[in-house]
Structure 1
Amino acid sequence: MMTASLSTPHRARDHKPYESQDRIILHFDYDCFYASVFENENPSLKSLPVGVKQKSILATCNYVARGKGVKKLMLISEAQKLCPDLVLVNGEDLTKFRDASKKLWGFLRSHSWNKRVERLGLDEVFMDVSDIISYNEQLLNPNSLAESFFQLSDQDPEKGFTFDATSLFGCTYPSQPSIQEETWGSPLYVRLLLSSHLAGYLRHKLEEDFGYTSTCGVSTNKTLAKLAGTKNKPKNQTTLMSLTGEVVQRFMDEHQIRKIPGMGFRTSHLVENHVLSRTSEAIPHDDEHSAKITTREVLEHPSMSSAVLEKVLGGPGTEHGIGLKVWNLLHGIDNAAVKEASDVPSQISIEDTYMSKPINTQAELLRELCSLSASLMRRMHVDLMDEDSTTESPESRKWLAHPKTLRLSTRTRSKLGTESQSRENFSRSSRSQPLPTFVFSLKEGPEMIAERLVNDAILPLFRRLHNERQGWNLALINICVTNMVLTGNEDGIGGGRDISVMFRTQDAKLKEFTVYDNSPQANPYVADASGLECMKQSPQEQSKQDSDIESVGWEEEDGYTHVCPLCGNTIPQFALPAHERFHALGE
């Protein structure tokens, strides 16, 4: 069957683009990660059917539960009918999952030389191990394969593990080839063999040292590695023996296009409509109704090419070159690099959804904002503070980075009975401002700082997004800190003089240039019926804020001085950039 399809004139593989085979990528996927976190806390759960609930659905479940017909993303009521003895644990607080994910990622990163270790969500990790594999390739002795030694350090020759290089570790696709003289003449075969043993060693250490089993895919790019890992789950690994282009294409042909990383709901559905000559219809948002056609069916379609895909997928707002990108993915071509690891994340985001019971009242809003903000502050302390610092007192710890921007995002549901209810809007609305510097204080607990953050910053941002008093029908709230600035030394961000002294004494120095209004002023805050304090604004002020989407602007006092929106101090024109940096430094 494969021979016939290979000879088809219009098969896209006849015009396959070239991809370098120099890289070696590992893709780790922790088995039933959320459930495993609870099982590590309570080992007695390992023999029981366990489901991790979030709201009214199962975020995931362990393999004992799956053996009884339970599936992830299933309604809890349906899962309990299938498995009455299902043990439900609450997984709405992601803190413990993030902590475990960071610990496992740190372990894998410690075994990387180039630090290209990229997290995908909480339970998947890509590793580019090309350099460590190239190093060990030079050390391999073909005359003593059964007693080989893999060096994990180029500085310490004794750090590593022994392995049998007469065969690959774990499963392969296709079935493992026998070692012939011509096979050893292929450098790629040797690199894949070494990679399979490194993957096996790391998986064993993850389970032995941390208690987490995992599945791994080994190949020459991220897409192939991720797909290879799905072949033999759980607690296993698969190496894609991509020694020829025909092997790679045969591997890709078996997959439904929706399962290919980078082929989202919309993309796969539009391709399916074209292949099946189906008129355009609503794009689904769930796997149950996603595209089912395979890569083979797409590439065997008459006149299929990257240009055709560009016409099918292109349009206003689409990615430039989307046709060529999808064309390459269908051939197993993926030049995307594994991102270099960073000690701190590029942003920290906390969110929750309220699909079954949207938020509509002030009391509900305040409760959720305080809860999300407290989680955000705890996350910042975990991800952005030096773990190696002395912890005799909380104030002795040091910040590794300071995010400069606070962003609030929301999504609303269509009101019942409205015409737009049948086509839900999945877009988000956002507003941003500089992050107040008091969040970096270590004199107060995260909960107290979170409460102040809500009152001083998040509620005003919310008012800019939704000026109604209630009835917003909120289905999602996201609070994010981003625009990270790394700490350059233990005293602050970057080097040079500490300019904070200048700003601490600026009020006295500018006193003679400042005009004060001593007339009585009304309280700028007004409490609504629920007790929420919201800043009173004139229609002109509200209009000014609404036009300022991504930052809080400076208020001009006269031609030469301005009022800082964060601290209220009067700043001369020449000192504005320095004053903004002062806030980025923290107090």
Structure 2
Amino acid sequence: MGKRIILAIDFDAFYCGVEEKRDPTLVGVPFIVYQKDCIATLSYPARELGLHKLGSVAAAVRAHPHVRLVNGESLAPYREQGKQLWSFVRAALPGCTVERLGLEEMWIDVTALVESNLAALIDADVLFKGISEEVADGLDQGVRLSLTTTAAPEATAGREEFNYSDNEENSVAAPLEMSFLCEDFFFQTPAHVFPASHGATMPAFLQTESTDPDEFYLDFKLYIASHIARELMLRISLGLGYSCSVGVATNKTLAKMVGSLHKPGGLTVLVSSAVQEFMAACHVRKVPYFGAKSRHILQDAMGHDTDRDGDLRVESVLSRYDRPEFVKLYPPGQGDKLWALLQGEDNAPVRETSRVQKQVSIEDTYRELTSIPRAEQALQPLLESLLRQLRIDMIDDDGAWLGFPTVLRLAVRVATGPSTLSNRVSHSHTLTSFAPFYLLPELETNNELTKLAERMRHSLIVPMLHKLCVGQGFRLTGPGPIYFQLLNVAATGVVAHKPVITSAAVKPAPVGPVRSAKPTRPSKKLDFYFTRK
């Protein structure tokens, strides 16, 4: 199996980019997006002041009173924009597999697209005429590169056309142009090249000491991919107004790592022969999947302490251990994976992200939530946020469900003291026993949504909260210390087809003795409840 060509996209200071679109006066000024007293992210002008993520907002304001503050407690606008960006990229590169990582990162497998362009260039008999140092007349006008492959019609079934306009009333949906004129194709890649000594001009980029033609064509594919990546970055900037950084490499891990070298707005391509050189220069903490626990194991084994973590580079690890010795440091299976990553090897495929999410979850943390009644009230805004997010993620533009959540889950962290560590515990309840939930697409006002959230809170969430508290040894009434550290509500158990309302939802069980036996009513489909009277 040949090497794949992967693009890794990371949108620069994404939360800040969203806020700048909402309030253009923020562009070019230092500002902080905060959640409680924590800096969630900050603009690049704010970073130039020496401020950092996860720092204290109060401390930042004391040091720099002119820094503007933006409340980022609600993730709804960021999730909405993240979904829009993902839709845009899928529409811009039909036929390519796009995998989302969080809200603002994506991997794109452009292997088939690049190979299709390479074959077209060879067929047109213009490819090797432009490789020489002296570009022939007529070739300096560039070439037209395609953004779609021959597999695109089948692969793009169900992909939406994209609308450039922010004004929905005056806009007309139209497909993006599926090719572009690459004027500098025969001159140089528009990207930073690692290693820089390799050269960015076409002849220099394609130089290789190997006599294997596959090595030559692999670099040619990376070269073509860099031009496609630049065009994609330009379309994202012009069409949606976001800046992003992109890495181009032969696997997901390398693309993600090399893409971080020239942020913000940088495009970096890793030459195939320079993988070992690139990895050797990296710090272990920059390698995906090397979390704090994995690094601590390595630090202890190598005699490093936390203060000397800056010395823990891939080169020093590889010079200290061979594979069998390294693998013994970790549980079975984990060591092999980490060792491969240190070598720059990653066989994980880019997996198409489903249009329908597996769950939608909303949570918040607390310091002064010290009673069950207060927790009951705190659940109301969480449920409202959950319903709003469901409208973004689970309901299409025509008001139809993309997928049907069937389970409502509540998770809490509750302790006997403000500093006591506690585990997350959860309880679930079926949503198919609460028919009003499935009327969410029909709600037209915020007041209707608030009322639905209130009904769900009283009917479903509060009973679950009481069960969790009792299960953790807390009394529902009376004195006793109780500290809620976290509340989370989630809609899960998503199914593709409309579920059936349970019998219990049609007629609640009677309270008290049963006077007469009645036949059980059959289950009714949700269409029965969707009908307006």
Q: TM-score, normalised by structure 2?
A: 0.79
Match for residue 24 of structure 2? 43
Aligned pair in 2 of structure 1 residues 105, 253: CA closer, same or farther (>3 Å)? same
Q: Alignment identity in percent?
A: 30
Look up the SS of the partner of 1:438 in the other structure. Answer: helix
Structure 1 residues 194-213: aligned runs within 5 Å: 194-213=224-243
2:144 corresponds, among 137, 149, 152, to: 149
Q: Which amino acid aligns with 2:426?
A: S
Structure 1 residues 160-559: aligned runs within 5 Å: 160-163=179-182, 164-166=184-186, 167-175=188-196, 176-177=198-199, 178=201, 179=203, 183=208, 185=213, 186-242=216-272, 244=273, 247-276=274-303, 293-302=312-321, 304-305=322-323, 307-314=324-331, 320-354=332-366, 357-387=367-397, 389=398, 397-412=399-414, 415=417, 421=420, 424-425=421-422, 427-435=423-431, 436-441=434-439, 442-444=441-443, 445-467=448-470, 468=474, 469=476, 471-487=481-497, 492=498, 519=513
Please list the CA deviations of residues 410-439 of structure 1 after superposition, one character each: whole Å capped at 9, or x if unmatched. Answer: 22456258xxx5xx45x4222222223321
Q: CA deviation at 1:516?
A: 8.1
Q: Which runs of 5+ in 1 are unaligned?
A: 1-19, 279-283, 315-319, 390-396, 494-498, 508-514, 522-557, 562-568
Match for residue 70 of structure 2? 89
State how far apart, in whole Å, the 2-side matches of 1:249 and 1:74 are: 35
Please list the CA deviations of residues 418-466 of structure 1 after superposition, one character each: whole Å capped at 9, or x if unmatched. Answer: xxx5xx45x4222222223321114553221111111111222222221
State how far apart, in whole Å, the 1-side matches of 2:400 and 2:149 are: 32
Match for residue 34 of structure 1? 15
Q: CA deviation at 1:112?
A: 3.3
Match for residue 173 of structure 2? none
State how far apart, in whole Å, the 2-side matches of 1:430 and 1:82 are: 41
Please list the CA deviations of residues 209-265 of structure 1 after superposition, one character each: whole Å capped at 9, or x if unmatched. Answer: 1111111111111110110011111111111112x2xx2122112222122111111
Look up the SS of the partner of 1:466 in the other structure. Answer: helix
Aligned pair in 2 of structure 1 residues 452, 88: CA closer, same or farther (>3 Å)? same
Conservation of the 8 A alpha-carbon contact between 2:38 and 2:57: yes
Look up the SS of the partner of 1:172 in the other structure. Answer: strand
Conservation of the 8 A alpha-carbon contact between 1:402 and 1:585: no
Q: How many residues align?
A: 465
Conservation of the 8 A alpha-carbon contact between 1:373 and 1:454: yes
State how far apart, in whole Å, the 1-side matches of 2:528 and 2:303 are: 58
Look up the SS of the partner of 1:333 in the other structure. Answer: coil
Q: Which amino acid aligns with 1:106?
A: S
Conservation of the 8 A alpha-carbon contact between 1:437 and 1:584: no
Aligned pair in 2 of structure 1 residues 290, 451: CA closer, same or farther (>3 Å)? farther
Identify which of structures 1 and 2 has the higher relative contact order when contacts are C-alpha pairs closer than 8 Å and 6+ apart.
2
Q: Which amino acid aligns with 1:439?
A: F
State how far apart, in whole Å, the 1-side matches of 2:104 and 2:389 are: 17
State how far apart, in whole Å, the 2-side matches of 1:517 and 1:229 are: 63
Q: Which range moved further: 341-350 or 169-178?
A: 169-178
Aligned pair in 2 of structure 1 residues 293, 374: CA closer, same or farther (>3 Å)? same
Aligned pair in 2 of structure 1 residues 585, 161: CA closer, same or farther (>3 Å)? farther
State how far apart, in whole Å, the 1-side matches of 2:316 and 2:63 are: 36
Match for residue 117 of structure 2? 136
Q: TM-score, normalised by structure 1?
A: 0.72
Aligned pair in 2 of structure 1 residues 506, 192: CA closer, same or farther (>3 Å)? closer
Q: Which runs of 5+ in 2 are unaligned?
A: 131-138, 153-175
Aligned pair in 2 of structure 1 residues 36, 274: CA closer, same or farther (>3 Å)? same
Aligned pair in 2 of structure 1 residues 414, 583: CA closer, same or farther (>3 Å)? farther
Match for residue 167 of structure 2? none
Q: Which amino acid aligns with 2:328?
A: K
2:102 corresponds, among 93, 101, 121, to: 121
Aligned pair in 2 of structure 1 residues 66, 429: CA closer, same or farther (>3 Å)? same
Conservation of the 8 A alpha-carbon contact between 1:344 and 1:400: yes
Match for residue 67 of structure 1? 48
State how far apart, in whole Å, the 2-side matches of 1:585 and 1:275 are: 67
Q: CA deviation at 1:347?
A: 1.2
Q: CA deviation at 1:313?
A: 2.0
CA RMSD of aligned residues (A): 3.3
Please list the CA deviations of residues 72-97 of structure 1 after superposition, one character each: whole Å capped at 9, or x if unmatched. Answer: 11101221233220000100011111
Q: CA deviation at 1:312?
A: 2.1
Conservation of the 8 A alpha-carbon contact between 1:257 and 1:291: no
Q: CA deviation at 1:41?
A: 1.5
